[in-house]
């Protein structure tokens, strides 16, 4: 099993190296660096989305028998400066960068509509975009659920603390009243011990004994 893990890690490193070599020139684009400041899905940055789609497209391209380089470059540019189904800016940037027709078509067709994917690379980008969006939704859902759980636990702790404070708060706060309450309780216990015909811990109701001596007041 350790050998399998080592092989997988080596393959992963090799795949990452190939990915970076395929998109090395695009990583220096000013437009790509500016995407770090823009929100894309939920509160995640556009840069993170583009990088994840590009890496996923590069990995899944072999399942579509598509060109990994074309898929990765299209994935890195597919939403750069775009909003929802508008692919005008990414396509214009690809034209300015003199990208191949496969890259431009994959960018234009990654929304499926109105342009249908007609190449393997385009379908690889569509799949990568769908997988990445699903992961982002799952991440946001888990984060919201975790925050909601923390809020619920915090409220329960606050309620428990408040309940303990109310329970532990002295019932009688005025000076001398606690002492009188303690004396009253002692008198009640003495009364129960003197007037109850029952012995032991479980004593019954108060029944006055005529022969009992009067209690001191």
Percent of the chain with pLDDT over 90: 44
Q: For residue 61, what pLDDT is reported?
A: 95
Residue 174 neighbours by CB distance under 10 Å:
8
Q: For residue 6, what pLDDT is reported?
A: 43
Could you read off the pLDDT of 116-174 as tens digits, one per residue?
999 999 999 999 999 999 998 888 888 888 877 777 777 777 767 666 665 555 544 55
Q: Residue 172 in 3-state DSSP?
A: coil
pTM: 0.65
pLDDT at 49 over 70: yes
pLDDT at 58 over 80: yes
C-alpha 25/C-alpha 215 separation (Å) is 101
Q: For residue 202, what pLDDT is reported?
A: 41
Could you read off the pLDDT of 69-104 as tens digits, one per residue?
999 999 999 999 887 778 999 999 999 999 999 999
185 or 215: whose pLDDT is higher? 185
pLDDT at 111 over 60: yes
Ranges of each domain in the chain:
7-139, 177-209
| DSSP label at residue 196 | -
DSSP alpha helix (H) spans, 35-176 = 46-60, 68-77, 88-96, 101-109, 120-168
pLDDT at 213 over 90: no
Which CATH code is given to the segment(s) 7-139?
A: 1.10.3210
């Amino acid at each position: 099993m350790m050998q399998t893990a080592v092989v997988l890690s080596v393959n992963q490193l090799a795949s990452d190296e190939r990915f970076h070599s395929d998109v090395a020139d695009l990583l220096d684009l000013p437009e790509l660096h500016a995407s770090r400041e823009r929100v894309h899905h939920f509160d995640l940055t556009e840069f993170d989305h583009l990088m994840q789609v590009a890496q996923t497209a590069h990995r899944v391209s072999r399942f579509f028998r598509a060109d990994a380089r074309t898929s990765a470059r299209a994935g890195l540019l597919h939403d750069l400066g775009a909003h929802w189904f508008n692919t005008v800016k990414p396509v214009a940037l690809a034209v300015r960068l003199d990208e191949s027709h496969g890259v431009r078509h994959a960018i234009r067709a990654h929304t499926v509509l109105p342009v249908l994917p007609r190449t393997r690379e385009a379908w690889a980008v569509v799949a990568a975009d769908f997988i990445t969006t699903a992961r982002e939704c799952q991440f946001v859902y888990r984060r919201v659920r975790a925050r909601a759980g923390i809020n619920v636990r915090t409220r329960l702790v606050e309620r428990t603390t408040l309940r303990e404070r109310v329970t532990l708060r002295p019932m009688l706060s005025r000076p001398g009243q606690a002492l009188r309450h303690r004396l009253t309780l002692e008198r009640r216990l003495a009364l129960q011990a003197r007037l109850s015909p029952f012995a032991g811990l479980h004593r019954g109701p108060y029944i006055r004994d005529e022969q009992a001596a009067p209690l001191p007041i």
